[in-house]
Copies of this chain bind each other. A is one copy, B any other.
Amino acid sequence: MPNLSERFTSTQLAEAITAKRTGMKLSLVDVSEALSISKPTLVKIEKGDTNVQLANLLKVMEYLGLSFSLLSDDATSKEKTEVSDDWY
């Protein structure tokens, strides 16, 4: 059973993107051309550089079928809790 409350670091995110892209047999140029972003920018994203536009990261993730869910450190409990619509 996967640990659903695991935080993701930007490095892990970058690794997951590369893994998903290569698993889909897509080259950097395949993806960069499909999304109209440059290869150096895509390389930055896959290196875990956080000095990139959020919009570019989201385009890449959507194209590869990756998405986020959000976790909130809850001060009142020891566990991190999933943020849902009725959370706030």
Which A residues are closer than 8 A to B by beta carbons?
Answer: 2-8, 10, 12-13, 15-16, 19-20, 23, 50-55, 57-58, 65-73, 75, 80-85, 87-88
Check B16–A70 contact: CB distance below 8 A.
yes
4 A-B pairs with least C-beta separation: A19-B88, A65-B73, A50-B55, A2-B82
> Among the listed B5, B57, B68, which residue makes an inter-chain contact with A71, where contact means beta carbons less than 8 Å apart?
B68
Find out whether the CB atom of B72 lies under 8 angstroms from the CB atom of A70. Answer: no
When distances are taken between beta carbons in the complex, the residues of chain B under 8 Å from A51 are 53-55
Residues of B within 8 A of A53 (CB): 50-54
The docked-state distance in angstroms from the alpha carbon of A71 to that of B5 is 12
